Amino acid sequence: MFTTGNKSSKRLVFRLTAILLVMLLLVSCGRNAPPNEGKPVDKGKTEATVKPNDHKDDDKKDDNKDPGSSQSIVAESYCAYMEAKGELTTIISDALSDNPGTELDSLSLLGVILVDLALFPATSFGLGEAAANSALGFLGVKDVDYKENGNQYSIQYTDDEGMKYELQGVYDKSADSLKLTAITDGKETVVSEYRKSSFGYVAQTYVLDDDDSASIFYLAISGKNGAIGISEASSKPSDLTGSESIDFPKTSEEWYAIDGDDFTGVTSDGRELSFKYTPSDD
């Protein structure tokens, strides 16, 4: 049990960890923007100065790339989802941290946030091996091997301790859905999926721990509103359909939801929560 005296330090560690992860994702996602976005056009470059090879790939169609830019629809989609998830988790953790008696319950969200480190390479899907090497360089990994085939993507790499990792992804453009599978030394450790819904996003992440116990996180996101559910799991969940309601995470053993300034939830020890949320000033 944590003592009252270290509540603030635990909250600080949580917030700093979340901030660092968000910064890492923002830097990587920022690399996905078209190179000339927000910059004046170089009027000095005319048709006469364009090299013959500048258009050699114009006849090759890639449904997962934006025409006329180096931007990948897959990476852009993932970063948009991560921005939405980041906003919801920040609001819910802020509400728990600043409400008397629920400060430590915010630590339950740490796993929901930290699992994104395993999925971080998805920010480079569709952008090629150079982009994957650049993004993963932040993490100090080596032996990056990037592959893509149609709507399927894979990035393999090795950490400084020789551990081998792989992230596989399958993107469904029509549903704006991405399913990710993280593999560590040949063993599936994370299976995560998000997809667009009528109100925003629905998502689920299955996490297998070192002791072979498993957890599952459910998310429903509608702007600044939504819900996060946390449960133990005995097996991987079925794929999302996109017809899930914004309340579907509330079937979890532990869940937290925000609707305007109305905060509700059930903690890990079964306490029911209901209070008004006022955004913190810090």
Predicted confidence (pLDDT) at residue 60 exceeds the cutoff of 70: no
What pTM value is reported for the model?
A: 0.80
Are the C-beta atoms of residues 119 and 217 closer than 8 Å to each other?
no
Q: What average pLDDT does range 160-186 have in this prediction?
A: 95
Phi and psi at 142, nearest 5°, equal: -140, 175
- Token pair in block for residue 94: 């802020």
Residue 212 has pLDDT above 80, yes or no: yes
Please determine, for residue 226, whether its predicted confidence score (pLDDT) is greater than 50. Answer: yes
Quick count: other Cβ atoms within 10 Å of Cβ 214?
Answer: 17
Q: What's the rounded Cα separation, in Å, for the pair 101 and 271?
A: 11
Q: Stretch 187-200: mean pLDDT, rounded?
A: 96
Q: Measured between alpha carbons, how far is 76 from 125 in angstroms, rounded to an integer?
A: 9
Please state, in angstroms and rounded to a whole number, the distance separating the CA atoms of residues 73 and 221.
20
Domain limits, the chain: 7-34+68-276
* Mean pLDDT in residue range 105-119: 91
Which residue do the tokens 């480079």 mark?
124
Averaged confidence pLDDT in the chain: 82
Of the segments 17-21, 27-31, 123-127, which one has the largest average pLDDT value? 123-127
- Spatial strand order of the sheet with 214-222 comes to 142-149, 152-158, 164-172, 177-184, 187-196, 201-208, 214-222, 225-233, 254-259, 262-266, 272-276
Residue with the larger pLDDT of the pair 132 and 276 = 276
